[in-house]
Structures are given as structure tokens and as C-alpha cells.
A = this chain, B = another copy of it.
């Protein structure tokens, strides 16, 4: 770890982010432009995200499978909007085993096409429906401007792909999966995302309707953190996914897709982090508690380490992910900074004075300085107290982020007001009945896009902030990652 101080978030949020990601050993740049290495600490966080989501997917009847990395070029071209959306971003394999390939292969940017092809083969009758499959894997999109976790050539994600007998069922599935993302984001990651529908301009290439969870980052930019798409019969028609219904008539299936990626790690970092580094939500943190022993003499060292080991053992038996930093070469102060940078929610300090009293000091990561410390915590009540503290921190992070978000969403009723709010870096909420062209004009002139039409809508109607036309919905505008 470098000893230079991090830039503060106010000074340079972007540079703060880059340095935190690398210095906390979450990820590193790979030798190929725009690709990343997710380091063990970052991957452990992703494994906890995977586990929280996978449990929810399986509880709602989904199963996992694995579809190929390579897609024949002709497949991508079958769905008109899909090919337009993804063509500029493709990585193409043209040589295999030393020979030029007859048909080039696309490294999957997403798997609707190849999965659609397989579903057409597997689905024959209404009895085969619904098909509810998810895949954990890697995809590649040839992005020009990349940033670790937020936008990389290769990234990791899950993509769910389902097929249904009716339009209603497909819509219900699309919304159910968005709710699962929401529940995960809010209750596991303490990221208070907003659910909503994407505008036509922003929806997935080939979808009928796209839904999103949008998070407000620490610099108030929006981050699209997960999406769920109702694909209607678009891909079923392109790939011939047909089934015999109860009346023995051939019908096209209705399909959905939904995904959440390693980008969400960026959401966690930028929602909770402070000028000391990461703050990880306890439910997902790879290490929930770090124990830092403090000693001067060799005698003290032995006694302190032995108590520290006992504390670690008790915590692990209590189901807490605890780690003991017993390294000889580093000072306690260095260790405090290091584990703060890494965002471990709770630090336990044990020094010679604590030995006699059989007590320890608890320090919470989200409240720095003395006010975040509890002194003289008795060993006998430590484990329940730590568990309660972890809950407190989890709830506190969510509350803080929610208040921050709500303080920075401003209602606007005119384009002039919208410009002012966006210029100030906040989000603007206002009635919208505009066209895609008008939305593009707003983007060109302000840098803001419609992040979503939030599910949470006023009961009244209003006038479009841009055109004055009668509007049925409010939209959220923001500059976004």
C-alpha cells in the first residue's frame, strides 16, 4: 500500500475512486486495454453478492446453466434493434486452431441470441414452459472509455433468460426480478436504489420495456445498477421459439432477460466510501471484523495475541467473519489505516491494559474518531454486541445514503429549472411527456439523461417540463456513469 494520502472525494471524486479501488486491492488493470483483474478481496465481495442473489433466484424457481462464450456472427444479426445496439461493441474471433474461420465468432456481449436458439430447440409444448434459467459468467463489450468495475471490456455478471406462455407472465417475471434486485440492493448492500422504467431511448436493444434500479453515487451521479427487460415476442420471432398451446396451436413464446454485474461493486464503493477509503456494508463484507493487537514488549505480545486469538475464535463460532492481523512488521497505526482503507466495518483493538479487565475496544468504520468507539467491552458479551453493532452499521449506512439521495433530488417544473439543478450536480424530477428527440436535446444541452420513470409516482397529472404537453408521469434526470 502506498503511504500517500488519498485525494478527498470533494477534491477529485474520480481520482479518489480509482485510487481506492487499487489501493484497497479490489481490482487492478490488466495488460490488455480496458480489462481488469478482480483481486481476491474484490472477488470475495463478488462471491457474497453472488450468494445473496443466487439464493433469491433459486427461491423463485430459477436454475443455473452455462451457454457458450462464442456466438455465430449471423445470430447477432437476427434481431434488428439488437444488432444495431451491439454492433459497435463487438470482439470478433476470426482465427481458430491456426485457420481463418468461415464464419467469424462473436465473443458474447450478452446471450439473448444463443440462448434463444437453444430455447427454440428445447421448447415444444406449453408443458415445457416457463423456462427459468440464469447464467453466471463473463461477457465482452468493446468500450472506449473504461474504468475499473464501472465499464470494462470484459465484465462478470449474471444474466437470467426466461420464456413464458403469456405476455402477462413475462411482465410479472420482469417485475419480480427487478424487485429481487431492489431487495438485494437495499437490504444486503444498503444501496437505496430507485426502481423505475427506462425511456425508449435508454431501453435495452431489442426489448419492449426495460426496468432499472438506479443508484445515486457519492458525487451525485447516477449509476444504473441492474436491469430487467421484457422482450415481448421479439427474440421468440427472431429465433423461432414456438410452442404448442393447450389447443394444439403453435404460438410464439414471451421472453425476458435481466442482469446485474460487477459494476455493482462500483455502486457499493461510490455509495458508502469516505475520504479514508471503502466502507463495506456488513452483510456483504468479506471481513466483518478485524482484530488489531497492540503490544510493546515480547511478554505483552504473547499475552495480547493469545487473547486476540480467543476473540477471533469466539467471533467465528458466533458466525462473524473475523480476521486477526498479527503481522509483526507493521505498527497498530498503520494497520488501522490499512483496514479503514479496506472498509472493514468493525475493528477490535486489544492492548495490554485490556488484558486484566478481559475487555476490548470496538471501533466502527462508519463513525471515525472517538465517538465511533466503545471502550471496555467485556469478552463475555462481545459476540452479541458485535452482531448488534454490525446490524447498526448496516442500518446506518442505508439511512445515511437514503438521506443523501433524498436531499439531492429536486422537483422541477420547467426546463430552466432542470438545467439549474443538473448544473448544480443534483437530480431533477419533473413531469415528462417528451419524445426521444426532446430527450436527446436535454442530454446534448445538459449532459443529463432520463434515468427512469420511477415506480413511485404522484397521484395527480401535470404538464411536461419541456413542452408543456399534458404528462402522465414524472421522470428522473441526472448525469450518469
Question: Which A positions have Cβ atoms within 8 angstroms of B?
Answer: 28, 30-32, 35-40, 42-44, 46-47, 63-72, 75, 87-98, 104-105, 107, 114, 117-118, 121-122, 127, 133, 137-138, 140, 142, 144, 153-154, 156, 329
> Quick check: A32 and B154 within 8 Å, CB to CB?
no
Partner of A70, one of B44, B47, B63, B154: B154
Closest to A156 in B: B66
Closest to A35 in B: B68
Knowing A67-B30, A105-B32, the reply to whether A91 touches B96 (Cβ < 8 A) is yes
> Quick check: B43 and A65 within 8 Å, CB to CB?
yes
> Quick check: B68 and A154 within 8 Å, CB to CB?
yes
Q: How far is the CA of A104 from the CA of B93 in the complex (A)?
A: 10
Given contacts A37-B65, A70-B140, A70-B154, 19 further A-B contacts (CB under 8 A): A28-B121, A30-B67, A30-B68, A30-B118, A31-B72, A32-B71, A32-B72, A37-B67, A38-B65, A40-B65, A43-B64, A46-B66, A66-B156, A91-B97, A91-B105, A92-B96, A94-B94, A98-B142, A107-B107
Residue numbers in B under 8 Å from A64 (CB-CB): 40, 43-44, 47
Q: How far is the CB of A362 from chain B (nearest CB, A)?
A: 27
Closest to A95 in B: B92
Q: How far is the CB of A415 from chain B (nearest CB, A)?
A: 35
Some 8 contacts from A to B, beta carbons below 8 A apart, are A32-B71, A32-B105, A37-B66, A37-B118, A40-B64, A43-B64, A44-B64, A91-B93
Most-contacted residue by chain B among A43, A69, A89, A105 (CB, 10 A):
A69
Most-contacted residue by chain B among A47, A75, A97, A144 (CB, 10 A):
A97
Q: How far is the CA of A276 from the CA of B244 in the complex (A)?
A: 30
Q: How far is the CB of A331 from chain B (nearest CB, A)?
A: 15
Q: How far is the CA of A390 from the CA of B37 in the complex (A)?
A: 42
Partner of A97, one of B71, B90, B93, B121: B90
Knowing A92-B94, A95-B92, A121-B28, the reply to whether A68 touches B36 (Cβ < 8 A) is yes
Knowing A68-B32, A70-B35, the reply to whether A88 touches B97 (Cβ < 8 A) is yes
Q: How far is the CB of A33 from chain B (nearest CB, A)?
A: 9
Q: How far is the CB of A251 from chain B (nearest CB, A)?
A: 19
> Quick check: B68 and A40 within 8 Å, CB to CB?
no
> Quick check: B92 and A93 within 8 Å, CB to CB?
yes
Closest to A118 in B: B37
Q: How far is the CA of A140 from the CA of B91 in the complex (A)?
A: 15
Q: How far is the CA of A476 from the CA of B105 in the complex (A)?
A: 41
Q: How far is the CA of A68 from the CA of B37 in the complex (A)?
A: 6
Residue numbers in B under 8 Å from A28 (CB-CB): 118, 121-122
Q: How far is the CA of A87 from the CA of B98 in the complex (A)?
A: 8
> Quick check: A97 and B89 within 8 Å, CB to CB?
yes
> Quick check: A95 and B94 within 8 Å, CB to CB?
yes
Residue numbers in B under 8 Å from A75 (CB-CB): 31
Residue numbers in B under 8 Å from A69 (CB-CB): 35, 69, 107, 138, 140, 154
Ranked nearest first, the 3 interchain pairs of A and B with the lowest CB-CB distance are A97-B142, A40-B63, A92-B95
Q: How far is the CA of A90 from the CA of B323 in the complex (A)?
A: 42
Q: How far is the CA of A43 from the CA of B144 in the complex (A)?
A: 34
